[in-house]
C-alpha cells in the first residue's frame, strides 16, 4: 500500500503542473499575444513591400541605364556615319580640285602651243589664243583644222 500511496503522490505532483500549464492564459494576455502577432505580421509586410520597392527601383535604374547606353550607341553610330560621309565628300572634293587643276594646265599648254605656232608661221591672230584659253582642247583642235586649210607662206625668190 505504501507503494500505491507513493505512486499516487508522485502522480498528483506531476499532473498538477501539467493541468495548470494547459489552462488558458488570461484573456488580455491572449489578446496582447494576438496583437503582437499582428504587429509582427504587419512589420513583415512593410519590410516585404520595402524590399519590393527597392527591387523595382533597381530594375528601373537598370532599364534607364540600358536606355542611356542604347542612346549613346545610336549617337556614336550617327556621328561615325556623318564622319564617313564628310570624309567621302572631302575625297571627292580632292578629286575635283585635281581635275580642275589639270584642266587649267591643259588650257594653258594648248594656248602656249597656239601662240608658238602663230609666231613660227608669222600668220594668224591673237584671237586664237583667247579661243584656246576659253575652250581648251576643242579650241586648239579648231585652230589646227583652220591652219591646215591655210597656205604656207611662199618664199620669195630674189
Q: What is the DSSP string of 37-91?
A: HHHHHHHHHHHHHHHHHHHHHHHHHHHHHHHHHHHHHHHHHHHHHHHHHHHHHHH
Task: Of 49-53, 68-72, 126-130, give the lowest mean pLDDT range.
Answer: 126-130
DSSP 35: H
Q: How far apart are CA 34 and CA 144, in angstroms?
A: 120
Please compute the mean of the pLDDT values over residues 48-65 and round it to a whole number.
Answer: 95
Whether the per-residue pLDDT at 23 is higher than 60: the answer is no
Residue 155 confidence (pLDDT): 58
Q: For the whole model, what pTM was predicted? A: 0.42
The torsion of the CA quartet 128, 129, 131, 136, rounded to 10 degrees, works out to 120
Cell of 15: 499532473
Share of the chain above pLDDT 70, in %: 84
Residue 49 confidence (pLDDT): 94
Residue 88 confidence (pLDDT): 75
Residue 67 confidence (pLDDT): 95
Amino acid at each position: 500500500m505504501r507503494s500505491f500511496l507513493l505512486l499516487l503522490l508522485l502522480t498528483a505532483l506531476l499532473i498538477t503542473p501539467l493541468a495548470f500549464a494547459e489552462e488558458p492564459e488570461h484573456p488580455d494576455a491572449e489578446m496582447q499575444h494576438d496583437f503582437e502577432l499582428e504587429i509582427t505580421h504587419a512589420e513583415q509586410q512593410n519590410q516585404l513591400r520595402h524590399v519590393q520597392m527597392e527591387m523595382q527601383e533597381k530594375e528601373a535604374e537598370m532599364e534607364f541605364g540600358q536606355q542611356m547606353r542604347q542612346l549613346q550607341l545610336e549617337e556614336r553610330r550617327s556621328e561615325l556615319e556623318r564622319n564617313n560621309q564628310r570624309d567621302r565628300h572631302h575625297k571627292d572634293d580632292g578629286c575635283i580640285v585635281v581635275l580642275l587643276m589639270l584642266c587649267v594646265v591643259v588650257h594653258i599648254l594648248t594656248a602656249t602651243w597656239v601662240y608658238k605656232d602663230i609666231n613660227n608661221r608669222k600668220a594668224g591672230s591673237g584671237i586664237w589664243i583667247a579661243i584656246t584659253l576659253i575652250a581648251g582642247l576643242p579650241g586648239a583642235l579648231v585652230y589646227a583644222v583652220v591652219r591646215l586649210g591655210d597656205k604656207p607662206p611662199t618664199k620669195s625668190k630674189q
